[in-house]
Amino acid sequence: MMFISRFIFSILLFVVTHATGNSQLLSPAEERNFSILTSYNELQNFLARVSKKPGVEVTHIATLESGRSVSAVLLTNSPPFGSDTAKVRVLLFAQQHGDEPSGKEALLTLLAKAANGDMNSILRYVDVIVIPQMNPDGSELQQRRTADTVDLNRNHVLLSSPAVKALHDVYFRWLPHVTLDIHEYGSFSTSWSDSGFIKTGDVQLGMLTNPNTSPAIRSYQHDRIYPFLSERMKRTGYSFHEYIVGSPRDRIRHSTTEINDGRQSFGILGSLSFIQEGRKWKTIDEQLERRARSQLAAVEALLEFVAKSVAEIRLLVNNERQRLMQLPGTDVVVRMDHFAGDDSLKIPVHWLSNGRDTLWTVKPYHSVAKPLVTVRAPRVYLVPASNKDLILLLERHNIPMKPMLKRNIENVAEYLIENVGEEILEEDTLPVPVIKHHPTRLALQAGTVVVPIGQLHSLFLVTLLEPQSMWGLAKYPAFESYLRQASWPILRIEK
């Protein structure tokens, strides 16, 4: 009789709990024990459910040609989002590459935890923006690029993709202090297996490498954040190390200094920005639970650190953004490469010959990005009206500009292009112009715009607009003709 009473009580408790809406929300992958990837439609349905929870706001940010949407989720315990200026704002985004789904699954699981109230201790100090899926078309096709063959992680300069343009608009709407771009790396690449072993690390963390980014921020990433995350990941049972690219038969270095990706494009604007690379397996859904949960563990460790370090991070980022406002007259690196340093790094690997797992000391380890060519930042750039595509590009980046009022300008500096050679940097062949600095007096046509350098985009602008810049305009087909002219069409006023 007592057993029956307890059984009836358990049934009643179950019914009441679910009727009152107190059941725990799970992500779509969690509901199926990570046996299958979350589809686009399932993701949309999940976001609709999450949006009904307190402190969760789902906002549409882009529509693709296919009709699919990209959404951002705003998490806060002090609505409206961003109103508490004492907090740190964090931007998390995943699946720029459609065949790298574990970051999406990790962020959906994070959203479920937030909806269940499991992030309240973090949200006391941090407002979080989550974009779980940047590339829904590529995800549905299980391919790296978008349906129209764009690599989103190489679209952060041109911003021709609606999704990447929307991401940057979100950034400028909220100016997050911290950003994290989540990917997967190929652990079975032949460049490693031909050397006899493969990488097995669950998660790699990439920090800022471009030498123009704040030295204080880079030191903080290496000396404070990385050790904290490393210890937390070890505690949760996942292997973790710094992000590296290359092969043992060539050179191993940190990833690109390019400003055209989801990490450096925001780091060059004064943010504490990272890229996170989870391990990709042989098939897109193999070991999905471990992949997603290891990505989630690293994200949660980062959020935990941020919540404990709000004052430090706000001061660090605010100081760097003030430096950007004072950039005119200072040197900016426009050509750089990776060189061997004094650092050492041990990573987990699997030897193919004997089937053993061990730690391997990375060598040769090119851990330092050094300047090769610098230029002095001008006070302003002048972009003639004939360069309409460039003016439109600057507008897409929300860069402040104003029309040139005077027609005849003195003390203008232009670059005369004497010839163009080539140089291999970051394993890529890049144009190297030989230029002559020529002061002149010019009559400018109506419609010429003035682009001031004392702004958040200061480093971005110098990197983009200087003809000697390895990451500048000339590397893009739409602007490569600029180096075939007698003079570089963008002018400088230095005083």
User: What is the chain's mean pLDDT, rounded?
Assistant: 93
User: What is the arithmetic mean of pLDDT over 246-262?
Assistant: 94
What DSSP element (H or E) covers 455?
A: none
pLDDT band for position 158 (cuts 50, 70, 90):
very high
Task: Name the residue with tokens 């190929």.
Answer: 186
User: What is the arithmetic mean of pLDDT over 35-40?
Assistant: 98
pTM, 2 dp? 0.94
How much of the chain exceeds pLDDT 90, in percent?
A: 89
What does the alpha-carbon distance between residue 26 and residue 236 come to, in Å, rounded to a whole number?
21
* 222 burial type by CB count under 10 A (0-12 exposed, 13-18 middle, 19+ buried): middle
User: What is the arithmetic mean of pLDDT over 341-356?
Assistant: 94
Instruction: Return the amino acid letter for 148.
Output: D
Domains in the chain: boundaries: 26-334, 377-493
Name residue 179's beta-bridge partners: 91, 273
What DSSP element (H or E) covers 279?
A: strand 272-280
pLDDT at 216: 98
User: What is the arithmetic mean of pLDDT over 395-417?
Assistant: 89
What values do phi and psi take at 103, rounded to 5? -65, -40
pLDDT at 411: 81
pLDDT band for position 404 (cuts 50, 70, 90):
confident
Least reliable range by pLDDT among 20-29, 58-67, 82-91, 114-123: 20-29
Read off the pLDDT of residues 185-204 as tens digits, 9 standing for 90 and up: 999 989 899 999 999 999 99
User: What is the arithmetic mean of pLDDT over 391-418?
Assistant: 90
Output 170-176 pairs: Cβ under 8 A, ≥24 positions apart: 170/61, 170/72, 170/91, 170/129, 170/131, 171/91, 171/266, 171/269, 172/398, 174/81, 174/82, 174/89, 174/91, 174/127, 174/129, 175/89, 176/89, 176/90, 176/91, 176/129, 176/266, 176/271
Peptide bond before 433: cis, by omega within 30 degrees of 0? no
First to last CA, the chain: 93
pLDDT band for position 22 (cuts 50, 70, 90):
low
Q: Is pLDDT above 80 for 406?
A: no
Q: Is pLDDT above 90 for 442?
A: no
What does the alpha-carbon distance between residue 39 and residue 247 come to, in Å, rounded to a whole number?
34
What does the alpha-carbon distance between residue 10 and residue 452 come to, in Å, rounded to a whole number?
69
Q: Is pLDDT above 80 for 234?
A: yes
Read off the pLDDT of residues 90-113 as tens digits, 9 standing for 90 and up: 999 999 999 999 999 999 999 999
What values do phi and psi take at 323, rounded to 5? -60, -40
The residue among 92, 88, 86 whose CA lies nearest residue 73 is 92
What does the alpha-carbon distance between residue 295 and residue 293 come to, in Å, rounded to a whole number?
5
Name residue 62's beta-bridge partners: 70
Read off the pLDDT of residues 57-100 as tens digits, 9 standing for 90 and up: 999 999 999 999 999 999 999 999 999 999 999 999 999 999 99
What does the alpha-carbon distance between residue 70 and residue 64 come to, in Å, rounded to a whole number?
8
pLDDT at 5: 40
The residue among 180, 67, 178, 186 whose CA lies nearest residue 132 is 180
How much of the chain exceeds pLDDT 70, in percent?
A: 96
Q: Is pLDDT above 70 for 269?
A: yes
Read off the pLDDT of residues 137-150 as tens digits, 9 standing for 90 and up: 999 999 999 999 99
Domain 26-334 homologous superfamily, CATH: Zn peptidases (3.40.630.10)
